[in-house]
Structure 1
């Protein structure tokens, strides 16, 4: 899909006003706290690219409007963190964590490879959608009080018979935490959606891949070529409100997002400083920036580089900013302290 990236930075600090035009608009407020993008109506962000079409398809095929893409995405994140090879202690398998018995009922060959497999993204997400759609129907017909989404999620986790037994969410701590976590994390996966990028080549292709991770949390030391993961705290970084957040957050830091975006076509090293070293022989002036170029910030010299971002066009960058934030598009002028801007390279 080819579309121009355009951006409009609001002059007022209180509102970001979205304009509809022929091209996709990317609007960012003056302090870079809000980013709005269109995605063709999908209303989904922050999920791996390979999951996205299946989530949207599963949501669309359900007659119950409560089965939104964000609900399915939040549930997948809770079940497996979008990992495909996971097996739980209860022998639940794949990204949607189906037990063999439940899979026998709901599994089907959705991706056309002549095999119904809980390890297949297409098969698993399709089965998840069908099962959740059925559970929403059961919840609506039950007459039990409360949010039908919560009842359906409880049925997915504990079995619908448990919901029937207690006429609501069962008093199981695991199930209660499961339902609460999914409903609380849904806003993270709601639209705006993908940043649309024009052109082809190493830079634009990497930018497109990075854009599929908009909304993914920042995790210091987390992430890599395979995708997001938990990180670590080093005594200075990775903390939020006095606690180590990185070890319990699945996400990227600035340089792992860049490494992920360019891999495997270009196997950049892991840290921002090393990425500058690997690309510094191809410097780019600020007025000649192109989508996919790398931008660096430093506390003083190439040995003190602490942040890297990907140029997204029209004066914006796509980056993972810091603990407590998510992957976002922000103005180059305010993404990081302007005095720390060190330069740009073309990978």
Structure 2
């Protein structure tokens, strides 16, 4: 005779086995979908190309064929840059939401992207343009300073850094720095001409040099996020739970914050302050894989890459031969999603 306890045990084991099978398969399906989206994206632009031309450009490259040259030097670095910033910003948002237990936390909402962008614009204004190394340092520094200021503002007063105070502090800081950024662009035409598209979040003109400079920074951040994923899962369940399990939450948060700076700073250095990726994608990933950050991080990275690639592709074809920057395309989706979260999720 089967006891109720035995039935429950078998049911629980069945669910665990089901998740153990489903999650790797789901991730593989997402990766395959990403590859398909990338292939389609490479074919689209001012002129459409065939998928067979992509294969030839990759495996039978002929420098005298114009289409091969376009794929290798223009479209391929652009889609790789899109994958990098999509994965980087999405995982940065997932880490921030887990660390702060704030469903609205993301690099753009909490002012991290705005701080990085302001630092780059200020450096361009002061030095008349900067090498890529300096741009990266400025973006990282701006992101770090922004994180410190926003957390300090949110921690002031009673109750500490609550989700509502973090969000409000981040929005205020982002508006403040954006005002200075806009003032610089208005007052200095040279700075405006250099980075006018970059400031709204754009993949246009991205090349291999930018990918090779800043891609490794984002890659380090992604690896660090994976290594911290188990600890972030515990922290996301509550500070008391994490401390009860013997975790040093201060050290974990410090390392996770460093990963956020690498992810957000590197992404902003490539394409400017692309908004809403870090806000939307982690919530989508949780619907798919639950609260375990060992799965949230890889799912978030892949879904973020898909989202940015699709947005960039649509932006290239909807008003062809003109382009809509990827940051503008994402705002059409992200703004309503932000309103939904602010209305129903935050307390």
TM-score for both structures, normalised by structure 2: 0.27
Whichever structure has more strand as a proportion of its residues is 1
TM-score for both structures, normalised by structure 1: 0.27
Q: Which structure carries more relative contact order (alpha carbon 8 Å, separation 6+)?
A: 2
Whichever structure has more helix as a proportion of its residues is 2
